[in-house]
């Protein structure tokens, strides 16, 4: 999420840092690089908007090995409501719950 956006700044950076976590910042969202960044950063969760999540779902099948090496505790979505089918797909792919605070 861009840091000029409240979702990116608060949920993506300030809240994790205040809890003692580390933050991995990318130069922007790039669905083609998402899984390489996942392998590099070894995240325990990530946050995105629905359009980003949909792009990740589209590329997940070809990256099952990366997903298996980097299990997530949860996923977060905000800024717009998430289509129920995408929630279901994400939770099945990552075997983790999706938290949607705007629901």
- Domains along the chain? 23-99 (3.40.50.980)
Side-by-side strand order, sheet with 74-77? 45-48, 74-77, 98-99
Q: In the predicted model, is pLDDT for residue 13 greater than 80?
A: no
pLDDT in tens, 15-31: 766 777 788 888 989 99
**pTM of the shown model:** 0.84
By three-state DSSP, how is residue 27 classified? coil
């Amino acid at each position: 999420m861009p840091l000029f956006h409240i979702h990116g700044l608060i949920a993506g950076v300030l809240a994790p840092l205040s809890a003692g976590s580390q933050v991995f910042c990318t130069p922007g969202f790039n669905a083609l690089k998402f899984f390489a960044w996942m392998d590099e950063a070894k995240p325990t969760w990530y946050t995105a908007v629905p359009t980003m999540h949909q792009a990740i779902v589209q590329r997940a099948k070809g990256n099952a090995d990366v997903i298996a090496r980097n299990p997530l505790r949860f996923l977060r979505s905000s800024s717009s409501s998430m289509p129920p089918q995408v929630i279901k797909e994400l939770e099945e792919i990552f075997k983790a719950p999706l938290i949607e605070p705007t629901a």
